[in-house]
Amino acid sequence: MTGGIGAAIWQGATVLIGGALLGLVYKGIDRKLAARMQARIGPPLRQPFFDVVKLLAKENVVPDHAIAWLFNGAPVVSLAAVSSLLFYLPLGGFAPLLGGHGDLVLVIYLLAVPAIAMMVGGFAAASPYASVGAQREMVMLMSYEFPLVIALVSIAWRLSTILPEASVFSLSVLAANPLWDWVGPLGAVGLVLLALALLVVTPAELSKIPFDIPEAETEIAGGLLAEYSGRNLALFYLADAVKTVAMAALLVALFFPYGLADRLWLSGPLAGLVDVAFFLIKVLVVVFFSVIVVRVGFARLKIDQAARLFWIPVTGISLVGMVLLILDRVA
């Protein structure tokens, strides 16, 4: 029993620390590649690590009129929620640590918690800039959650028609039984549309350009984060880094779960290393196309433009994908 608890603690610590380190590495790659695509040199890859250390060393300032416990608690809740996500996602071919204690519905809720925490922190800051940012974050959350939920539930439902006895809302089951292997031409087109919808949702979930509207440094001086500094800002920074890994890992689990070791007839520790390396490459590819290319190629949208984008074309694409999965079953 003691050994089992010790192993669980060690595995959990590995996932948490590894997720944070990977998130910071991907943030460094993101900034470097974006700079190169804009004909700039850009910061070094280790810059996100410097930023976190610098913020942790700075004074943690709380505004005089802020609700201190909400203001200080929001970044902690945000980081805790995104860190918890890592325990429910299959990472590098390994089963989720808490795969039997939560499913896709819980993942949807955990994805929403950081945005809600930032809203609470923004309103608690007693700053007009932060309040405007919190209102924008609320609109954004209500906009992109709908197509996200449609895509995730559609995939789980379609798998339930194929494997009625399986726990289809479990991400480990979804990753072990990719729908590409089961559906026909209509279903394949539907999956492509759902993947496209989630690729558009991803930068909004991460508040990246063109969906960094709640922060908008040039308009509302950082918005939600205008009053944050020191340790609290470092926690939000880490939460963003971990959420980048979690969101990309979710897309990989749903649409690109295939390993490489089996196809190379590898086994043992070498197979595990190959699959982990392949997983990290897939996560980087998702981050590159859904975050880096998008924020380099587009300017920031207005809040009404972002809401309209998610409620009409993106939701429409996800609904068409869902209908095609339904027709694929009928066919």
pLDDT in tens, 151-169: 999 998 888 888 887 787 8
Residues near 308 by Cβ (< 8 Å), separated by ≥ 6? none
The mean pLDDT value for 243-249 works out to 91
Lowest mean pLDDT among 2-16, 31-45, 79-93, 126-140: 2-16
The mean pLDDT value for 183-205 works out to 91
pLDDT-based confidence at residue 271 (cuts at 50, 70, 90): confident
The mean pLDDT value for 255-276 works out to 78
What is the Cα gyration radius of the chain?
A: 20
Q: Share the mean pLDDT of the chain.
A: 85
The mean pLDDT value for 159-181 works out to 83
Identify whether the C-beta of residue 229 lies closer than 8 Å to the C-beta of residue 10: no
Q: Above 70 in pLDDT, residue 186?
A: yes
- Nearest CA among 199, 180, 200 for reference residue 190: 180
Lowest mean pLDDT among 254-263, 286-295, 318-327: 254-263
Match 């930032």 to its residue by tokens: 118
Identify whether the C-beta of residue 217 lies closer than 8 Å to the C-beta of residue 130: no
Q: Above 50 in pLDDT, residue 84?
A: yes
* Predicted local distance difference test score (pLDDT) of residue 1: 44
- Nearest CA among 224, 203, 217, 220 for reference residue 306: 203
Find the length of the chain: 331
- Give me the number of domains the chain comprises: 1
Which tokens hold the place of 8? Answer: 């669980």
Determine the 3-state secondary structure of 216 from DSSP.
coil
The mean pLDDT value for 87-116 works out to 81
Q: Can you name the residues that pair with 94 across neighbouring β-strands?
A: 91
Q: Above 70 in pLDDT, residue 196?
A: yes
| HEC-encoded secondary structure of 8-45 | HHHHHHHHHHHHHHHHHHHHHHHHHHHHHHCCCCCCCC
Q: Above 70 in pLDDT, residue 331?
A: no
More confident of the two residues 268 and 160: 160
Report the percentage of the chain scoring pLDDT > 90: 23
CB atoms within 10 A of CB 222: 19
Give the C-alpha separation, 314 to 307, whole Å: 10
Expressed as residue numbers, the domain containing 118 is 2-330
- Which 8-state DSSP code applies to residue 89? S
The mean pLDDT value for 292-320 works out to 89
- Nearest CA among 267, 257, 243 for reference residue 93: 257
pLDDT-based confidence at residue 194 (cuts at 50, 70, 90): very high
Instruction: For residue range 47-83, list pLDDT tens digits in order.
Output: 999 999 998 888 888 888 888 888 889 999 999 999 8
Determine the 3-state secondary structure of 160 from DSSP.
helix
Give the C-alpha separation, 53 to 20, whole Å: 13
Q: Above 90 in pLDDT, residue 267?
A: no
More confident of the two residues 205 and 98: 205
